[in-house]
Amino acid sequence: MSEYDHKKIEEKWQKRWEEAGLYRTEDAVQGKENFYTLVEFPYPSGDLHIGHWSAFAVPDIFARMKRMQGYNMLYPIGFDAFGLPAENAAIKHGADPAEWTLKNIERMRLQLKQMGNMFDWDREVSACDPSFYRWTQWLFLQLFNKGLAYKKKAVVNWDPVDQTVLANEQVLSDGTAERSGAKVEKKELSQWFLKITEYADRLIDDLDGLAWPEPIKDAQRNWIGRNEGAKIEFDISSFDKKIEIFTTRPDTLYGATYVVLAPEHPLVTELAGTMINHSEVRQYVEAAATKSDLERQEHKEKTGVELKGVKAVNPGSKEEIPIFIADYVLSGYGTGAIMAVPAHDERDREFAKKFNLPVRTVVSEEGTLVDSGTFDGMTSEDAKQKITEHVGGKMTTTYRQRDWLISRQRYWGTPIPIVYDPEGNAHAISDEHLPWVLPSDVDFTPTGEAPLARSKELKERVEKLFGKGWTPEVDTFDTFVDSSWYFLRYLDPKNEKEFASKELQKAWMPVGRYSGGAEHTTMHILYSRFFIKALYDLGLVTEHEPYTVRMNRGLILAEDGRKMSKRWGNTVNPDEQVNNVGADSVKMYLAFIGPYNEVSSYPWNTNGLIGVRRFLERVWILQDHLSDDSSDNTLGGLVHRSIKKVGDDVESMKFNTSVSALMILSNEFQKLETVPQDAYEIFLKLLAPFAPHMAEELWERLGHTTSIHLETWPVYDPQLAQSDTVAIVLQINGKKRGVLEIGHDSSQEEVLAAIQRDQKLLKYIDFKPKKVVFVPNKIINFIV
């Protein structure tokens, strides 16, 4: 017997598999159903870290088992190669982003191959490759042509560290940037948006039909933030304009004792001539404009200014009420104006108190209306609709979510395929000019101004193609645009005529299982759902939802329980671990560390890794203790129970308990004098997805000449999976008193008879029970 030399074995099989094209995936295989398992493609920002192993090596277990179960499995990989992390790293190392990225991809590809996953490398895609980004550009233009992409001047989030705008989704609730950690500022800029808000309802409603974990769906619902309410118009006395407000409580209309506009509300300027404290108002508006959202929230005291000399009319009570501007009302939500009901809204109450405004209670404690004209006595719920109708308002829905800001003032991204005529009108760049290539004659140091503006080549290219005075769009796409469709390119990576043929989309989509990081729930996952819906409406894709099942995985922490970080010096280097114990051990340990499909965090434990390595060594040694005898009785139904347990748990991605089941079976093998070869072969097949190299090596040593990964997954016999005997618990008043081994499905009489025969158990029932609770195969409980 030789030693378990993981290096030799893993190198050998990775080479052989590649030569044999073992993991090349055909688009169709006779008699097999296609199944698409997806993992998020990585940023090529440097070395592989242990998180990559958890993200890619562990779901490979699922893909491999499904393959053995007879599915034609697609498990592809690529690189999310555009974007800030790569660019920032390149700048830090004084390198060109393109060179830097390509070098990293090369390095990471080698590291990824050491995992021994069943990736089909022929399908590798890279977002920074012109053959990929021409389709990112093309798809964007389809949206542009349908009016789903637009450029607009708006107050946007500005990241002063990364020197670019950010989407709302990329700003954390504490007002810092998700990536750089910088305090986000506000800036008014002209930017490109995608109309994700137009899809808000469908993005929420279609969640109901998805078999995803509920918490992920809830997070998306929260983010979109649908809110039912009413829009109601308030007249302005002696001015021919109305103030439209949004409220979720139209039933409290009679309690509205003032109106508040956001400082940015257009009426503020229009009313300038009418109000008498014009300069005071302007001062407030200007002050508000410089404040970030975070700063607005920081001061606890409400501030505001009354527009003196103008009044609004409450359409319910017809009373004249004052108009204020205050920064506690946000311009981007609802209509940017509210009716203030201090009696029934905490914020309004606070404001009213400070400005000494009247408080009028209009809903009694029982929930019926008071002091509300003809509506008195009506329930609050009924009144919502009735009052809205009465004053000519309309019931409406608003959303927290804003349109998706996709342009960035950075270099390393897909160029936005737009040019401007001399009048400044945006035009799509026609297909013949795609890919619209990223220029290379650019100093890409971030300055806040888009680096492409400095490209002479780009400027000349545009003038040459479109005429004098024409200018290029100089912003690039955020990398989330690339990742909104990358999974479609895997299906047809070499197609030069289409981003992915309909035929292949039909063959593979939707993705059957998508596993990734929880941080993408309200970013990538939401964006890509929108993208696919929009493309579906354009007739370009075959599905209106991209993922049948999405699962978020947990986080691997450092051994000290903190996040792994170079700063703490607590990182675990996967290369080192693979060198020490092998890829199979690292993969299997990460599978064993905890339930994969739960968003939790698991501290790395090198001793735990060694434990898994020990397990594999014991499996290795078993090869010298085989016998030709088949169906050894001592194993009973354990082999069949193991097939069931491992299969069920891998299916639901509970890899930790499936590893445990393999360990139990192997432990039983070890207790035997010799292990029956047929049982051992079944065990190797169960092990194959978890430790593909070792299982393959042992399989070959048994004399097989074809790959174990082409074997079919063992099928268990439900009869044999049951053990011959069951343990029945003997309870007195619900307290455990003993255990009785007895045949399957024994009747109560048989169990009682068995107790009579057992001296130890008999002593517990030397009385006449009031009642006997008998649950077949489980318990017998005597009530005294």
Contact 504, 491 (CB under 8 A): yes
Q: Which is nearer to RNA, 73 or 285 (CB)?
A: 285
List the one residue out of 75, 85, 234, 90 whose CA is nearest residue 162: 85
Whole-number CA gyration radius for the chain: 33
CA-CA distance, 638 to 618, in Å (whole number)?
A: 18
- At its nearest, how many Å lie between RNA and the CB of residue 332? 7
- Cα 41–46–48 angle (5° rounding)? 65
Q: Which is nearer to RNA, 120 or 169 (CB)?
A: 169
Q: Which is nearer to RNA, 95 or 663 (CB)?
A: 663
DSSP 390-421: HTT-EEEEE-S--PEE-EES-SSSPBP-EEE-
- At its nearest, how many Å lie between RNA and the CB of residue 149? 23
Residues 6 or more apart whose CB falls under 8 angstroms from that of 631 comprise 676, 678, 679
- At its nearest, how many Å lie between RNA and the CB of residue 307? 17
List the one residue out of 226, 237, 233, 263 whose CA is nearest residue 250: 233
- At its nearest, how many Å lie between RNA and the CB of residue 300? 7
- At its nearest, how many Å lie between RNA and the CB of residue 618? 5
Q: Which is nearer to RNA, 67 or 654 (CB)?
A: 654
3-state secondary structure 632-665: CHHHCCHHHHHHHHHHHHHHCCCHHHHHHHHHHH
Number of C-beta neighbours around residue 565 at 10 A = 10
- At its nearest, how many Å lie between RNA and the CB of residue 154? 15
Tokens 């920064």 found at = 327
Residues 6 or more apart whose CB falls under 8 angstroms from that of 391 comprise 232, 233, 253, 315, 316
- At its nearest, how many Å lie between RNA and the CB of residue 741? 8
- At its nearest, how many Å lie between RNA and the CB of residue 389? 17
- Cα 552–556–558 angle (5° rounding)? 160
Q: Which is nearer to RNA, 131 or 227 (CB)?
A: 227
Q: Which is nearer to RNA, 298 or 449 (CB)?
A: 298
Q: Which is nearer to RNA, 579 or 733 (CB)?
A: 733
Long-range contacts of 307-310 (CB under 8 A, 24+ apart): 307/261, 307/268, 307/271, 307/275, 307/277, 307/281, 308/275, 308/276, 308/277, 309/274, 309/275, 309/276, 309/277, 310/236, 310/237, 310/238, 310/239, 310/271, 310/274, 310/275
- At its nearest, how many Å lie between RNA and the CB of residue 735? 6
Q: Where are the alpha helices (DSSP H) in 652-726?
A: 655-671, 677-687, 692-701, 718-721
Q: Which is nearer to RNA, 565 or 706 (CB)?
A: 565
Q: Which is nearer to RNA, 243 or 450 (CB)?
A: 243
Number of C-beta neighbours around residue 325 at 10 A = 25
For residue 620 the two structure tokens come to 């290795």
Q: Which is nearer to RNA, 720 or 729 (CB)?
A: 729
Kindly report whether the peptide bond that precedes residue 435 is cis, defined as omega within 30 degrees of 0: yes
- At its nearest, how many Å lie between RNA and the CB of residue 525? 12
Q: Which is nearer to RNA, 333 or 536 (CB)?
A: 333
Crossing angle for the helix pair 214-224 and 524-537, to the nearest 10 degrees: 80
* 77 φψ region: left (φ > 0), alpha (ψ -120 to 50), beta (else): beta
- At its nearest, how many Å lie between RNA and the CB of residue 426? 29
Q: Which is nearer to RNA, 102 or 663 (CB)?
A: 663
- At its nearest, how many Å lie between RNA and the CB of residue 330? 4
Any idea what DSSP says for residue 208?
G
